[in-house]
Structure 1
Amino acid sequence: MYVAVKGGERAIDAAHAWLDRSRRGPVDQPVLDTAQIRDQMGLAVTRVMAEGSLYDPDLAALAIKQACGDLIEAIFLIRAYRTTLPRFGASIPIDTAAMRLKRRVSATFKDAPGGQILGPTFDYTHRLLDFRLMADGELPTEPLAEGGETESAATPHVLSFLNRDGLIEDAAPDETPPADLTREPMELPADRTLRLQALARGDEGFLLGLAYSTQRGYARNHAFVGELRIGMVAVEMDIPELGFAIEIGEIEVTECETVNQFKGSRSEPAQFTRGYGLTFGQTERKALAMALVDRALRWEELGEEDQGAPAQDQEFVLSHCDNIQATGFLEHIKLPHYVDFQAELELVRRLRAGLSDQDEDAA
């Protein structure tokens, strides 16, 4: 057994060296710099930050490079690094109404106060390969039509106008301090603040599938995008010695609020209800999927009937949306299970031998 262990260590070292060579690629090509990844692969960087629960574009770019572009592996690296960081305090809730917008659209009101800002998006592009990117390396840049991010004053949320008229459920903030999923294990049933934390760092593909299922009838979740906005928000922190909050930085976030149909219940009048998603960076598919799943999980508190849909089962959703937990449990079966398998193999042989003996006795 000792010889096998030593041999395994040499094989692992050789695998690591092979991985390093594969990551580098042909030596006649320039090395891919982390700054290039950060600045030119921004959507991959923001996904790693969002699901890794750490806002640091440089570290996310490093993780993507180290993981050879495997985003789940990069998320794993960021999560692991995050556990080593000290925590000095907690910021106060960000004010998304004061967001410096670079994209803001509403599918419910054409003439939303503050206007529609299309921003950088694939929504209106033709899904055709642009071979100019291969031939020329880059496209000529054109000046932004309206100066890029808005510098205007606070832009009100679209749903606030429905709220003003009493046509949508009130979104009064809960003053109860939320639990912290990164410091305490999740207990079920989980309240909405804890569910939103889990969804915010959940796997985009898993949430996308669940959100799609709600649209196809598995939860009766017909939604409109009340507003989707992307931009920079200030992060502020209360300083006890000063007696007031100071700005410690800015982060980019995507916020999505959905308007969902609701016929009312015995205790609630007919009105619209909400779904909510908020994630780091420009991650609008994730934020939209998060909002749809959030609304599906609220069936009980809204007095609706359980349709038995996967997206309504919080134990199913919250226990399986984390791609790092899923990856760890899935990929551990690649590791040696020699003893376990040999035990089961011996059991199968004994069972087969017993059946053979019974056949001989019958004959």
Structure 2
Amino acid sequence: MYVAVKGGERAIDAAHDWLDRARRGPAAQAVLDTDQIRDQLAIGVARVMAEGSLYDPDLAALAIKQARGDLIEAIFLIRAYRTTLPRFGAALPVETEAMRVKRRVSATFKDAPGGQILGPTFDYTHRLLDFRLMADGELDRDDTDGTPPDPGAMPCVDAPAKPALPHILDFLNRDDLIEAAAPDEAVPGDLTREPMELPAERPLRLQALARGDEGFLLGLAYSTQRGYARNHAFVGELRIGTVAVEMDIPELGFAIEIGEVELTECETVNQFKGSRTEPAQFTRGYGLTFGQTERKAISMALVDRALRWAELGEDDQGAPAQDQEFVLSHCDNIQATGFLEHIKLPHYVDFQAELELVRRLRASVEDPAQEGAE
């Protein structure tokens, strides 16, 4: 056994060395810098921060580099690092209405106050490979005739963000056509410090969804649109921008700004015919995540609305997206990865026991007398 253990250690060390060489790539190539990952692979960085529950673009870029682009592995690294950090206190709730917006669209109001702001998005691009990106250097953004584009017609991605804009759904709220967004005065629990107990209140559900796997939530959200919960929704507003983070300092007696974060916020407008407890009105779904993660935010809002069936007095249709235990217990990709990937680790004793059982069962069928003798 000692020899086997020592041999295993040598094999593991060799695997680590091989991983380091594979991560580095050919020596003739330049080393991939974390600044490049942070700035040029910003969507991946945002996902790692959102599902890792830690807002730090530099560390998220480092995790992506270390994980060779495996985002779930990078999320695991970020969460593991997060557990080592001291906790000094809690920030005040961020005011998303004061967000400095760089993207803001609505599928419900064409002439929304403040206007539609397309921002940096793939929504209007052709899904064709751009082979110019394989060339060295940056893309030539000039027109084919050499004339630079009109700055007014082609705003720069790095243009200043718009000032604070009101939430679009507030205009529906004024006419009492949508449920009021009444804030919960109770201090919400912290999913990262206390285990979740089911059934969970909405604040904890939203925390779990914000940390949940984007692909899993996307599949659940899609299922609600296909009839599994009859969750027909409109994007009332999708906004991306930066908000100030403030913290109350007891020694000072007032709150101070300690930084800012980039967020994606989605509010959906959902059809609702009324129920035994609520009048006919529109209802809301909500999603809020770190960085530019709009697919995740929209998915989160749809699943949030599906999970609210009980509080709105709706009937349980038995849809997966309506089942708290199913959604909240399986949306976390780190838990799922740990349970899934553990089966590739040694299970020699377990398998030998199963193998012996199968042999005995087969032998008993082939020789019934042997079974009686036993």
TM superposition score normalised by structure 1: 0.97
Task: Report the CA distance between 1:136 and its aligned residue.
Answer: 4.0
Please show how residues 7-86 of structure 1 align to structure 2 within 5 Å. Answer: 7-86=7-86
Please show how residues 269-288 of structure 1 align to structure 2 within 5 Å. Answer: 269-288=279-298
Please tell me the residue identity of whatever aligns with 1:124.
Y
Cross-structure match for 2:360: 350
Cross-structure match for 1:157: 167
Secondary structure of the corresponding residue to residue 269 of structure 2: strand
d(CA) in 2 for partners of 1:198 and 1:277? 11
Cross-structure match for 1:96: 96
Kindly provide the CA deviation profile for residues 14-55 of structure 1, in whole angstroms up to 9, marking residues without a partner as x: 000000000000000100000110011000000000000000
Please show how residues 167-316 of structure 1 align to structure 2 within 5 Å. Answer: 167-316=177-326
Task: Report the CA distance between 1:137 and its aligned residue.
Answer: 3.6
Secondary structure of the corresponding residue to residue 241 of structure 2: strand
Secondary structure of the corresponding residue to residue 326 of structure 1: helix
Kindly provide the CA deviation profile for residues 303-345 of structure 1, in whole angstroms up to 9, marking residues without a partner as x: 0011110000010000000000000000000000001111111
- Unaligned stretches of 5+ in structure 1? none
Secondary structure of the corresponding residue to residue 194 of structure 2: coil
Structure 1 residues 41 and 359: CA distance shift in structure 2, 3 A = same
Kindly provide the CA deviation profile for residues 186-208 of structure 1, in whole angstroms up to 9, marking residues without a partner as x: 11000000000000010000000
- Tell me how many residue pairs correspond in the alignment: 361
Task: Report the CA distance between 1:359 and its aligned residue.
Answer: 7.1
Kindly provide the CA deviation profile for residues 202-232 of structure 1, in whole angstroms up to 9, marking residues without a partner as x: 0000000000000000000000000000000
Cross-structure match for 2:145: none
TM superposition score normalised by structure 2: 0.94
Q: Determine if contact 2:172/2:178 at 8 Å carries over to the other structure.
A: yes
Could you list the runs of 4 or more consecutive aligned residues of structure 1 that deviate by over 4 angstroms after TM superposition?
A: 141-144, 359-362
Q: Determine if contact 1:264/1:271 at 8 Å carries over to the other structure.
A: yes
- Unaligned stretches of 5+ in structure 2? 142-148
Please show how residues 333-344 of structure 1 align to structure 2 within 5 Å. Answer: 333-344=343-354
Output the aligned Cα RMSD. 1.5
Q: Determine if contact 2:364/2:371 at 8 Å carries over to the other structure.
A: no
d(CA) in 2 for partners of 1:301 and 1:215? 20
Structure 1 residues 197 and 360: CA distance shift in structure 2, 3 A = closer
Structure 1 residues 293 and 356: CA distance shift in structure 2, 3 A = same
Cross-structure match for 1:131: 131
Q: Determine if contact 1:149/1:231 at 8 Å carries over to the other structure.
A: no
Q: Which moved more, 1:21-30 or 1:265-274?
A: 265-274
Kindly provide the CA deviation profile for residues 61-93 of structure 1, in whole angstroms up to 9, marking residues without a partner as x: 000000000000000000000000000000000
Task: Report the CA distance between 1:8 and its aligned residue.
Answer: 0.7
Structure 1 residues 109 and 151: CA distance shift in structure 2, 3 A = closer
Please tell me the residue identity of whatever aligns with 1:79.
R
Task: Report the CA distance between 1:346 and its aligned residue.
Answer: 1.1
Please tell me the residue identity of whatever aligns with 2:160.
E
Kindly provide the CA deviation profile for residues 140-184 of structure 1, in whole angstroms up to 9, marking residues without a partner as x: 3575627723342x2110000111110000001000000000000
